[in-house]
Structure 1
Amino acid sequence: MVLQTLLILSAALALFHISKAFLVLAKWVWASFLRPVKDLKEYGSWAIVTGPTDGIGKQLAFLLARRGLNLVLVGRNPSKLSSVSNDILKLHSSIETKSIVVDLGTEVDKGMKKIKEGISGLDIGILINNAGTGYPYARFLHEADEELVERIIRVNVESTTKLTHLVLPEMLKKKKGAIVNIGSGAGSLVPSYPLNTVYASTKA
């Protein structure tokens, strides 16, 4: 009797976990392939992308341009910003781009002031907090120097929080908008990341 009860409980638990996994998969399939395409311009005519000169940020900038959004590109390298802006405009001449040069790792408050002035009067509908930084190579927490730790926190946490705080009031006022914070598997998929502690905790 006890064995039968344990088998029933085990089967029920297994069914629960299988159902949970199937639900996650179904949601992903719906969101990725079946859901109708949303007109992102309904949120507003402009999108802000931080860290748009490489990788994910660059691809998102091109994607948003393809969807007809004007872009505010926020980065620390003027020549790279100019290059990305020019490349986007060659493909999507009907949109506008605006570049704001800010090093979020050294001048967060000054940078927020510069961004606030730069987006004044723009209908910001989307914010992509993509900018991020990490260790140049893996190391334990006690081996990371204070300047590096502070820079990671400024870029990955402080600037993300303050930029969100900057654009959110207008979005709430018009009752529409989208904010996307780019995280990392380092903060969610890996149970413990002792060689990238600060990065993982700031990108969870």
Structure 2
Amino acid sequence: MEVCACLQYLRTQPVWLFALTAIGFLSLAKLGFASLRWTYVSFLRPGKDLKRRYGSWAVVTGSTDGIGKAFAFQFARVGLNLVLVGRNPEKLRETAAALREKYGKTQVETVVIDFTGDLNGGLARLKEKVERLDVGVLVNSAGASYPYARYFHEVDEELQRNLIKVNVEGVTKVIQAILPGMIKRKRGAIVNIGSGAAIVIPSDPLYAVYAATKAYVDQLSKCLYVEYQKSGIDVQCQVPLYVATKMASIRKSSFWVPSADTYARVALRWIGHDVRCTPYWPHSLLWCLISLLPECAVDRWRLNFCLKIRKKGMLKDAARKKE
């Protein structure tokens, strides 16, 4: 009798109530699945054996500072040989010497490329260097940003040109130089370092050209991922937020702002898994929080934050001119 009464009660309820209930259950299930997946990929999922899966050599651009240099040391730690790409010959020699000293069995080659200068000459040297090497991993870490925040009309022609040459043309042409060998060997991993400025926050006022170039990196990565997945090549855009590097003008690391070494160690485990990722888990928490806020509120906060950076930068410029 109780079952019949319950069924009779349900028949009297409006359809929209059932629809809302179903949506609620599905939303909870989706949230639960997303939480479980986040926990797994952030803390439990093992990284791939890069040497066995992709090849014995890694090419790293921007390898003498910041994230690129940290990646180079992490690759050497797991047994990969290295082709270091940078614009400063002396820094390249110093980094290569430090790697050989710490990891004696690691082979290290260097290629000088000034991404703001003679790009074609440097790319020719890179192609010649990697022609006979089993290059399995490419990390495009070389990047350029603003000295400090500024309005779009304040971005001079040289800065604008350098941003596009390094972040767009440089990334594109280095991939074109390395990709044919990966296609021939039917394996490889390409990691392009993007930015939260282009993906995580709705807009990045006062860094417009930088953010736009990093949006290009993200879209390029997604397209290449689809194009070459069946060829055994994994393409990925890593999207860090702030990392304590010279380019970010942050000296001290913290829980929310990792050192380049901390970031690279975590990032290694993500290579070959997702087309877009934020390897450092506190960054992914911030991304989740930002996504819950109204875009207009985030835009307002970001503009005020960048205006403060602009003010400090202008004061430093004025002080230098007086000197």
Please give the TM-score of this superposition, normalised by the length of structure 1.
Answer: 0.88
1:149-168 equivalence runs, <5 A: 149-168=160-179
1:195 is paired with a residue of what secondary structure? Answer: coil
Question: For residue 106 of structure 2, what is the aligned residue in structure 1?
Answer: 95
1:194 is paired with a residue of what secondary structure? Answer: coil
Residue 12 of structure 1: how far off its partner (Å): 5.8
* CA distance in structure 1 between the partners assigned to 2:86 and 2:159 by the alignment: 19
Change (3 A) 1:8 1:63: same
Of 113, 117, 123, 1:112 maps to 123
Q: Does structure 1 conserve the Cα–Cα contact (< 8 Å) formed by 2:61 and 2:85?
A: yes
1:169 is paired with a residue of what secondary structure? Answer: helix
Change (3 A) 1:123 1:7: same
> Alpha carbon RMSD of aligned pairs, Å?
2.4
2:176 is paired with a residue of what secondary structure? Answer: helix
Question: Is there any run of 5+ residues in structure 1 with no aligned partner, and where?
Answer: none
2:83 is paired with a residue of what secondary structure? Answer: strand
Is it true that 1:187 corresponds to 2:226 in the alignment? no
* CA distance in structure 2 between the partners assigned to 1:15 and 1:120 by the alignment: 55
Question: Is there any run of 5+ residues in structure 2 with no aligned partner, and where?
Answer: 1-11, 216-323
Give the percent of matched residue pairs that are identical in Structure 1 and Structure 2.
50
* CA distance in structure 2 between the partners assigned to 1:140 and 1:17 by the alignment: 41
Greater mean deviation of Cα atoms: 61-70 or 169-178? 169-178
* CA distance in structure 1 between the partners assigned to 2:45 and 2:78 by the alignment: 16
2:191 is paired with a residue of what secondary structure? Answer: strand
Higher relative CO (Cα under 8 Å, sequence separation at least 6) belongs to 1
Q: Deviations over 1:35-92 (max 9, x none)?
A: 2342111211110000011111111111100010000000011221112111111111
Q: Which has the larger radius of gyration?
A: 2
Kindly provide the amino acid, as one letter, of the partner of residue 139 in structure 1: R
* CA distance in structure 1 between the partners assigned to 2:195 and 2:31 by the alignment: 21
Kindly provide the amino acid, as one letter, of the partner of residue 107 in structure 2: E
1:94 is paired with a residue of what secondary structure? Answer: coil
* CA distance in structure 2 between the partners assigned to 1:7 and 1:197 by the alignment: 47
Q: Deviations over 1:115-154 (max 9, x none)?
A: 1122221111000001000111111111101111111111
Please give the TM-score of this superposition, normalised by the length of structure 2.
Answer: 0.58
Residue 173 of structure 1: how far off its partner (Å): 2.0
1:137 is paired with a residue of what secondary structure? Answer: coil
Question: For residue 38 of structure 1, what is the aligned residue in structure 2?
Answer: 48
Question: For residue 230 of structure 2, what is the aligned residue in structure 1?
Answer: none
Kindly provide the amino acid, as one letter, of the partner of residue 120 in structure 1: E
Is it true that 1:68 corresponds to 2:76 in the alignment? no
Residue 105 of structure 1: how far off its partner (Å): 1.6
